[in-house]
Amino acid sequence: AGQRVPTDFANVVWKRIARQDPALLMQYTQSAVPAVARAAALAIAACDHPAAADSALASFGEASPVAQTALLEGICLIRASSCPPLLSAARGSSDPAVRATALTVASSNPEWLTEETIGSALHDPDVNVVRAALTVLEDRSAKGFETDLAILLKLGHEDVQERALRSLARAGSRQAG
């Protein structure tokens, strides 16, 4: 235990490895240790290797949820042109945190965030993804989502009901009344 490698040193080494071949680190994105999976994903996303996004997309489904989130945020921030395929993969993830992150990342670019994406997120089985969709709607018009929001008024989560009601009121819907 007294001979542990400092985290900063490991990150520097992993970034150097990723600059040579990001695929070498993909196996670490599957680690059961969240810090290891996240560090490997961030090294891949930030390595500035031309194949980094392709490596991330090819192994995205096998990566741990923590690594998927880090890959999604990092690749979309650094290589915006490589983001849409990762967003598509993230929306199909079984982990709600990854789906919510995909929605949040997509909201940063109007071309990535479609009405279909918001609509499906409003009906997601996980309430945290629904909350993320409502957060996205706070910054844009809720027109066209009135029926979806009216359904949310019947859910048992008071905060979701309140936020749906606010969105309906901003849309000028009679269902808000």
pLDDT category of residue 176 using cuts at 50, 70 and 90: very low
Helix residue ranges, H only, 92-157: 96-106, 115-122, 127-138, 146-152
Q: What is the mean pLDDT of the chain?
A: 89
Six-digit token string for 127: 């309430």
Q: What percent of the chain has pLDDT over 70?
A: 93
Confidence check: pLDDT of 19 > 50: yes
Q: How far apart are CA 128 and CA 144, in angstroms?
A: 22
Q: Which of 3, 50, 2, 64 is nearest to 22 (CA)?
A: 50
The closest of 3, 2, 58 to 30, measured between CA atoms, is: 58
H or E stretch covering 158 = helix 158-171
